[in-house]
Amino acid sequence: MTKPLIFITNDDGVNARGLQSAIRIARKFGDVVVVAPEQSQSGKSHAITMYSPLFLRKVRQEQGLEVYALNGTPVDCVKMAFDHLLLGRHVDLVISGINHGANSAISVLYSGTMGAAIEGSFYGSPSVGLSLLDHDDNADFAAAEVYGTQIIERVLTGGFPTPLCLNVNVPVGTLESLRGIRVCRQNKGYWKEEFFCRRDPRDKEYFWLTGAFCNAEPEATDTDEWALSHGYVSIVPVQVDMTDYSRMGVLQEAFPPQE
Amino acid sequence: MTKPLIFITNDDGVNARGLQSAIRIARKFGDVVVVAPEQSQSGKSHAITMYSPLFLRKVRQEQGLEVYALNGTPVDCVKMAFDHLLLGRHVDLVISGINHGANSAISVLYSGTMGAAIEGSFYGSPSVGLSLLDHDDNADFAAAEVYGTQIIERVLTGGFPTPLCLNVNVPVGTLESLRGIRVCRQNKGYWKEEFFCRRDPRDKEYFWLTGAFCNAEPEATDTDEWALSHGYVSIVPVQVDMTDYSRMGVLQEAFPPQE
């Protein structure tokens, strides 16, 4: 029997520690191919590179592992893997991460990690985005690796229907302190910015985004935000039909169908 | 009575012709503030700029119109407007566009135009993304302006519930040739890339994304793709809860709730 083939990418770049965690998880289950961004791509969402060429660099190769870096976005990395590097090969699973920082709630929309996970699911492979709620370069990924392993194993063996894309977030804590896994819905809310404003050496004003998440439903107990703030690992299944069906009626009334 | 305040951005940049069309539409209804990217931001999705400073440049000001350029993404432009430039002012409407090129179906996910429109809706203003199915710099925006005007007027006066975000696409054609407006759902499908591959002057291989849309439901008649290919202007209401509720059951079984 051939080993499963697992594709990995991330948004923190090829040198991020979280990527090494994802590789360690994946190698327990199969052969691994990595295409990760050359540089950090945090907040790059589902962006693709349209106006500049992409260069693919082989970083290392050993038995059961190939690592490449691409000067593009996380979604570019997925496309490079599925439409070029691995073209024609069956990919059993996509992992994006482990991200340094949360991708819960509406952050799924801004996240390069989740952009890549979603893109991976378009190619028919089950896809898992993994994030740890710790931005620190030296974050402790131990508990995230244990939970990541458990979830990846379940996804590889569970025979879930595809497309399947999971947004997994892991709170900060030791394995002992975490309380288990919760399957949740995406918390409603938005990011409000406070622009950090300074003057550059030529006295020109510049701005820097510094956001804070506003939870629109702090009382809800079935959301990823609730799970994470109560010590649970959250899993939100993600889909991409963004149609607002609740507005169809009022809009069809305002713009009646024409022949 | 004070005039409505309309905020405009786009993803083709401050010099794009489509932006001028959006400004012409908006000025029929109110005062207009524009913050548009300095450069083209096509395919930038919901990306934000996290690792570099943003500079805001006033491009022009006249009665009822202020135009700024920002060296950021379309979503950065929206945040700059709502969280800084227009902070505390009531914005009656957000327009993003008019985009040069389609943003129907799954392109809503990759589109900088729609990223900005969605972000605008987070601030409580009705928000409309306008796109013309013509990438040409010299595209004819005449019909798109007429339909855009009609839709903007309805949104400004219709008292629709918020959040409201509309993804409007206009087929290529004269006003006479177009058949009217259809409120639709987002067509299912995905983009498959064929990498354009060449060698640079130093004989290093490079790649360039060139995608083609694969329609996963060509027979469906209630989608934006169907409407557009049959000569209709499409309106898809957009929301951002990406939870895949259809997968909650099977996942909750696989990962049962823990105390």
Chain A nearest C-alpha distance from B21 (Å): 22
pLDDT band at A193 (very low <50, low <70, confident <90, very high): confident
Q: What is the DSSP string of B127-154?
A: EEEEEES---TT---HHHHHHHHHHHHH
Please tell me which of the candidates B56, B106, B208 has its beta carbon nearest to residue A54: B208
In chain A, where the domains are located: 5-188+221-240
pLDDT band at A116 (very low <50, low <70, confident <90, very high): very high
Residue A152 backbone class (left: φ over 0; alpha: ψ -120 to 50; beta: rest): alpha
CATH class of A5-188+221-240: alpha beta
Decide if A110 and B186 are in contact by the 8 Å CB cutoff: no
Identity of residue B149? T
Average pLDDT over residues A238-254: 97
Mark which residues 50-109 of A lie under 8 Å from B by CB: 50-51, 53-56, 75-76, 79-80, 83-84, 106, 108-109
Place of tokens 């000025």: B27
Adjacent-strand bridge partners of B94: B7, B127
Decide if A241 and B188 are in contact by the 8 Å CB cutoff: yes
- CA-wise closest residue to B39 among A195, A90, A52: A52
A161 to chain B, any CB pair closer than 8 A? The answer is: yes
8 Å CB contact between B17 and B43: no
Alpha-carbon span A253 to B226, nearest angstrom: 20
3-state secondary structure chain A: CCCCEEEEECCCCCCCHHHHHHHHHHHCCCEEEEEEECCCCCCCCCCCCCCCCECEEEEEEECCEEEEEECCCHHHHHHHHHHHHCCCCCCCEEEEEEEECCCCCCHHHHCHHHHHHHHHHHCCCCEEEEEECCCCCCCCCHHHHHHHHHHHHHHHHCCCCCCCEEEEEECCCCCCCCCCEEECECCCEEEEECCEEEECCCCCEEEECCEEEEECCCCCCCEHHHHHHCCCEEEEEECCCCECHHHHHHHHHHCCCCC
Chain B nearest C-alpha distance from A209 (Å): 6
A115 to chain B, any CB pair closer than 8 A? The answer is: yes
Indicate whether B220 pLDDT > 90: yes
Q: What is the pLDDT of residue B15?
A: 96
pLDDT band at B194 (very low <50, low <70, confident <90, very high): confident
Identity of residue A121? S
Indicate whether B254 pLDDT > 80: yes
Mark which residues 9-28 of B lie under 8 Å from A by CB: none
Please tell me which of the candidates B183, B192, B247 has its beta carbon nearest to residue A255: B183
pLDDT band at B169 (very low <50, low <70, confident <90, very high): very high
Identity of residue B223? T
Percent of chain A with pLDDT over 70: 99
Which spans in B102-247 are helix H?
Answer: 107-110, 112-122, 142-157, 224-229
Percent of chain A with pLDDT over 90: 93
Q: What is the pLDDT of residue B1?
A: 63
Residues of B in contact with A75 (CB under 8 A): 45, 110
Please tell me which of the candidates A46, A235, A246 has its beta carbon nearest to residue B251: A235
Angle, helices A17-27 vs A142-157, to 10°: value is: 40
Identity of residue B64? G
B161 to each of A252, B84, B115, B124, B195, how far by Cα in Å?
14, 25, 20, 10, 43
- CA-wise closest residue to A55 among A41, A40, A35: A35
8 Å CB contact between A57 and A68: yes
pLDDT band at B259 (very low <50, low <70, confident <90, very high): low
- Mean of the per-residue pLDDT values of chain B: 96
Alpha-carbon span B28 to A223, nearest angstrom: 43
Decide if B154 and A206 are in contact by the 8 Å CB cutoff: no
Percent of chain B with pLDDT over 70: 99
Indicate whether B152 pLDDT > 70: yes
How is residue B234 written in tokens?
């499409």
Indicate whether A258 pLDDT > 80: no
Q: What is the pLDDT of residue B193?
A: 85
pLDDT band at A121 (very low <50, low <70, confident <90, very high): very high
Give the count of Cβ contacts less than 8 A between chain A and B.
230
Alpha-carbon span B58 to B68, nearest angstrom: 4
- CA-wise closest residue to B47 among A223, A241, A40: A40
8 Å CB contact between A114 and A78: no
Indicate whether B153 pLDDT > 80: yes
Please tell me which of the candidates A45, A151, A181 has its beta carbon nearest to residue B47: A45
B254 to chain A, any CB pair closer than 8 A? The answer is: yes
Average pLDDT over residues A205-227: 94
Indicate whether A259 pLDDT > 70: no
What number does CATH give the domain B5-187+220-240? 3.40.1210.10
Task: Please give the DSSP secondary-structure letter assigned to residue B4.
Answer: P
How is residue A86 written in tokens?
């691995």
Indicate whether A229 pLDDT > 70: yes
pLDDT band at A1 (very low <50, low <70, confident <90, very high): low
At A151-169, the pLDDT tens digits run 999 999 999 999 999 999 9
Percent of chain B with pLDDT over 90: 93
Measured between CA atoms, the residue of chain B closest to residue A52 is B208
Indicate whether A10 pLDDT > 90: yes
Residue B46 class from Cβ within 10 Å (0-12 exposed, 13-18 middle, 19+ buried)? buried
